[in-house]
Amino acid sequence: MTELVWIIGLLALGYPLVVLSVLRLVRPARLQMATLGAQLLDDEGISEDTRHRVQRMLDDAFDWSALIGLVAGFPGAVLRASPAPGLATPQLAGLDTPGGRSFADLNALALMAANPFCVCILALELAVALRLVRSRTVIREVLNELSTGTGRA
């Protein structure tokens, strides 16, 4: 029992130090993201929807709780999704410019730095999801072969 108390105590003391170290490490990228976000907001050619999305991304980039919703909603989204035959690159409407893509990439890095614990959970969920999607794709291919008569069964 005392070992468990020591482990919990070390985690409670160590986690904030890890978070502070990660935040210090990604600080230049976060500042670059904020600069790119300000440039996007100043661009008169972007839509109001994109402007709102960029503002929301800037607000969430420094919020430790922003990833919690993603972690909670990810399993349900995977179960509802039907896997496509090929991998598609998700597009963020209005951010498909080089500056917009850089902003989105830096935003993802800032979100991950704000909550490393949720990143670990999300990585585990992603590993399970990839296995699930692969299994569903294989099953669908087998069923398609069987239904078209090209399978050996």
Looking at residue 132, what is its pLDDT?
A: 76
Helix and strand numbers, DSSP H then E, in the chain: 6, 0
pLDDT tens digits, one per residue of 41-74: 998 888 888 889 899 889 888 888 888 888 888 7
Contact between residue 151 and residue 142 where contact means Cβ atoms under 8 Å apart: yes
The encoded tokens of residue 66 equal 């922003």
Question: Domains in the chain: how many in total?
Answer: 1
CA distance 101 to 147: 42
**Residue 153 belongs to some domain of the structure:** no
**Closest residue by Cα to residue 60 from 17, 96, 106:** 106
Contact between residue 10 and residue 54 where contact means Cβ atoms under 8 Å apart: no
pTM here? Answer: 0.67
Q: Across the chain, what does the average pLDDT equal?
A: 79
Contact between residue 110 and residue 26 where contact means Cβ atoms under 8 Å apart: yes
Range(s) of the domain holding residue 29: 2-87+95-148
